[in-house]
């Protein structure tokens, strides 16, 4: 969507579009705030921004996480548009989905993506790199190409990845993403000279710094999508290597990593984006006004409130559990139902129907032991290490909150199911 498209809906057709689930809110021109953006008081993104703006000897690395749908992508874009960040850094943001297969991802894939994106984005922006660096990069490309052909034992024409460094970065990345068999071989090649790949990243970063007088800052989105085993292999087992690129990096990481004992490897640079708190611990029927106001603005920024009953809006917020994406999901389902019935407003019945649909999805995947743990969590709100907790967090069946000490509760739509 363009800036023009971020308008408050005056009908259900437009409202349906405005509650699109995967809609990171790109900032407007000159760093203007997106009209749909809702700032949360005490936003921990300020901690990440301050940390980036602090003095450093080496460009810092940070690990940014939170529940699926809590607004991480939007907050990264918000950092990208910060004038102070733009003054200090040469920032780029990309999704790892565009560069690698997130179902089968490896630290070598990420390093290649970092180097490739640095090079391609800078060149696309009109940046000029020194001729000597381009010669060195093409020399490295030639060595990699030769090693590929040796490893694959095939003719050059069959496995040619690119006759120039520009083509190499594009084609090597696509082969890593789309061709599983070639991906294995390319990883073997890069692992033989991982220091060479890191040196390429650092040479590109250094050249950008010399030309722009700003340190490259890379914000990598969707790194929270791989499963815990992959996240552990990358950020725990290969932590030292992932710290080597000589540019500032914010890695999004799986929230499951925060609930594992391997979290210790990243804890000093970890920042967690919590959900919006709607009630106090062990008081599910209590009402935190600030949280309800935030999510009410989330709705009113997208749709005129004349199209939803007051009680229906309050119920929708309660059912969302303070997760922005769940709020959008409930509103979109309810709007769709009201639209089909040619109603004038979204009603309580529409919201309850949307909540039931979500609950039915959970009913298909939660087993008896899951329900037992969920019942215990609903009673105690205690966040304790349990290997069954990680997948439930990933499913949003359990949600974490942080007002004072961190605590957790079950997704509100599950109360009827757990207490049945």
Q: What is the DSSP string of 66-135?
A: E-TTSSHHHHHHHHHT-HHHHHHEEEEEEEGGGTS-TTS--HHHHHHHHHHHHHHHHHHTT----HHHHH
At 152 the pLDDT is 61
Answer yes or no: are the C-beta atoms of 116 and 110 closer than 8 Å: no
At 160 the pLDDT is 57
Q: What is the CA radius of gyration of the chain?
A: 24
At 185 the pLDDT is 82
At 157 the pLDDT is 37
The number of angstroms, rounded, from the C-alpha of 323 to the middle of its chain's C-alpha atoms is 14
**Structural domain spans, the chain:** 71-273, 289-418
Please tell me the distance from the alpha carbon of residue 73 to that of residue 23, in angstroms, as a whole number: 9
Q: How many other β-carbons are positioned within 10 Å of the β-carbon of residue 216?
A: 27
CA separation (Å) from 18 to 259, 305, 322? 33, 13, 18
**Residue 399 belongs to what H/E stretch?**
strand 398-403
Answer yes or no: are the C-beta atoms of 63 and 251 closer than 8 Å: yes
At 23 the pLDDT is 75
Please tell me the distance from the alpha carbon of residue 198 to that of residue 200, in angstroms, as a whole number: 5
What six digits make up the tokens of 172? 């090597």
Q: What is the DSSP string of 18-64?
A: HT-SS------GGGPPPTT--PPTT-THHHHHHHHHS--SS--EEEE
Strand partners, 405: 403
Closest CA to 11 of 285, 304, 296: 304
pLDDT (tens digit, 9 = 90+) per residue, 186-228? Answer: 888 888 889 999 999 999 999 999 999 999 999 999 888 888 8
At 29 the pLDDT is 67
Answer yes or no: are the C-beta atoms of 218 and 247 closer than 8 Å: yes
Counting runs of H as helices and runs of E as strands, what totals does the chain give? Answer: 20, 7
Residues of the chain with pLDDT under 70: 1-4, 28-31, 151-163
Answer yes or no: are the C-beta atoms of 66 and 270 closer than 8 Å: no
> Which residues, including other chains, have CB under 8 Å from residue 413's CB and lie 6 or more apart?
319, 355, 356, 358, 359, 362
> Which residues, including other chains, have CB under 8 Å from residue 327's CB and lie 6 or more apart?
295, 298, 299, 316, 317, 320
Answer yes or no: are the C-beta atoms of 365 and 395 closer than 8 Å: yes
Answer yes or no: are the C-beta atoms of 232 and 239 closer than 8 Å: no
At 390 the pLDDT is 81
Q: How many other β-carbons are positioned within 10 Å of the β-carbon of residue 249?
A: 20
Task: Classify residue 271 as exposed, middle or buried by CB count within 10 Å of its CB (0-12, 13-18, 19+).
Answer: middle
Query: What length is written for the chain?
Result: 420
Q: How far apart are the first and last CA of the chain?
A: 43
pLDDT (tens digit, 9 = 90+) per residue, 241-295? Answer: 999 999 999 999 887 777 777 777 788 888 888 899 999 999 999 999 999 999 9
């Amino acid at each position: 969507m363009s800036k023009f498209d971020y308008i408050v809906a005056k009908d259900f057709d437009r409202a349906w579009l405005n509650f699109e689930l995967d809609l990171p809110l790109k900032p407007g021109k000159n760093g203007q705030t997106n009209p749909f953006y809702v700032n949360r008081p005490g936003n921990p993104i300020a901690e990440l921004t301050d940390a980036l703006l602090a003095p450093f000897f080496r460009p810092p690395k940070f690990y940014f996480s939170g529940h699926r749908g809590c607004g991480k992508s939007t907050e990264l874009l918000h950092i990208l548009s910060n004038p102070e960040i733009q003054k200090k850094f040469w920032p780029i943001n990309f999704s790892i989905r565009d560069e690698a297969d997130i179902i089968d991802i490896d630290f070598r894939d990420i390093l290649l993506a970092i180097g490739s994106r640095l090079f391609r984005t800078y060149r696309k922006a009109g940046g000029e790199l020194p001729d000597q660096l381009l010669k060195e990069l093409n020399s490295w490309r030639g060595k990699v190409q030769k090693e590929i052909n040796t490893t694959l034992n095939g003719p050059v024409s069959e496995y040619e990845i690119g006759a120039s460094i520009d083509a190499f970065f594009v084609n090597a990345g696509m082969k890593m993403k789309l061709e599983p068999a070639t991906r294995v071989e390319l990883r073997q090649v890069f692992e033989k000279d991982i220091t060479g790949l890191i040196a390429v990243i650092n040479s590109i970063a250094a050249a950008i710094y010399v030309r722009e007088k700003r340190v490259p800052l890379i914000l990598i989105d969707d790194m929270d999508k791989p499963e815990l085993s992959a996240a552990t292999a990358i950020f725990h087992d290969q932590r030292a290597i992932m710290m080597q690129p000589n540019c500032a990096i914010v890695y999004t990481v799986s929230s499951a990593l925060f609930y594992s004992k391997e979290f210790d490897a990243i804890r000093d640079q970890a920042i967690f984006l919590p959900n919006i708190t709607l009630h106090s611990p062990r008081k599910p029927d209590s009402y935190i006004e600030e949280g309800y106001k935030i999510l009410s603005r989330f709705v009113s920024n997208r749709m005129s409130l004349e199209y939803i009953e007051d009680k229906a809006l309050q119920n929708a917020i309660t059912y969302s559990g303070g997760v922005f994406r769940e709020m959008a999901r409930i509103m979109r389902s309810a709007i769709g139902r009201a639209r089909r019935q040619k109603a004038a407003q979204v009603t309580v019945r529409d919201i309850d129907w949307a909540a039931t649909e979500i609950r039915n999805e959970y009913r298909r995947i939660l087993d008896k032991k899951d329900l037992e743990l969920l019942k215990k969590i609903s009673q105690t709100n205690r966040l304790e290490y349990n290997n069954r907790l990680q997948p439930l967090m990933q499913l949003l069946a359990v949600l974490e909150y942080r007002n004072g000490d961190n605590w957790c509760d079950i997704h509100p739509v599950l109360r009827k199911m757990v207490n049945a």
